[in-house]
Amino acid sequence: MIHAFPCGTLPLDFVGTLRARRNPEPLEKFAAPGDVSAWFMEAGMIDDAPPAGDADLQRAVEVRERIYALLDASLHGTPLLADDVAFVNEVAAGSPVRLELSDGTVRRSGTIADGLGSLARETIAILGSPDAALLRECARPECTQVYLDRSRGHRREWCSMKTCGNRMKATAFRERRREAAA
């Protein structure tokens, strides 16, 4: 598995394919068309790797950045830009990933465009519902992952306890030990 899914919400995990956005050199997880195909398979959206070319890679990155722009505006309480809204609405109007029931199991099939359409629809569902108020950005300074804070009391700080939360707690522990030793 080459991709991470810490948020439990596919559009937010999709946005996380550009890691550490504010760093001078963010980590791009979509370096090649095959990375986009792998993401859709690993996310469980499409069962067999959809073929992807350079145009699919460019489109996926553009959709990701437009979704991020909308999420970022919502996070900061600023108006959603009409151009970003129109773009995501256009992508959402595309064909969905196809579901087929066969012998009691579900098969998911589609193209990269179908997967992007499904992600755009889920983004719209988040931003147009009370869930938009639950959007948060990871408190680890190096991380820019967006997640929905569904914790009791809405005090979740990190995109994932396994990664960022553990790193932050380990850093705080080392700092306390250093201060105690001084």
User: What is the residue extent of each domain of the chain?
Assistant: 10-181
Check whether 57 has a pLDDT greater than 90: yes
List, in order, residues 6 or more apart from 170 with CB less than 8 Å away.
Answer: none
List, in order, residues 6 or more apart from 157 with CB less than 8 Å away.
Answer: 138, 139, 165, 168
Q: Is the dihedral of CA 29, 33, 34, 40 positive or negative?
A: positive
* Mean pLDDT value across the chain: 89
Check whether 86 has a pLDDT greater than 90: yes
User: What distance in Å separates the CA atoms of residue 84 and residue 79, rounded to the nearest whole number?
Assistant: 11
Which residue has 């001084």 as its token pair? Answer: 182
User: What distance in Å separates the CA atoms of residue 166 and residue 172, rounded to the nearest whole number?
Assistant: 10
User: Is-above-0.75 flag for pTM?
Assistant: yes
| pLDDT value of residue 145 | 87
Q: For the domain bounded by 10-181, which CATH number is listed? A: 1.10.3300.10
Cβ atoms 149, 134 nearer than 8 A? yes
By the 10 Å C-beta count (0-12 exposed, 13-18 middle, 19+ buried), 131 is classed as middle
List, in order, residues 6 or more apart from 90 with CB less than 8 Å away.
Answer: none
**Per-residue confidence band for 101, with pLDDT thresholds at 50, 70 and 90:** very high
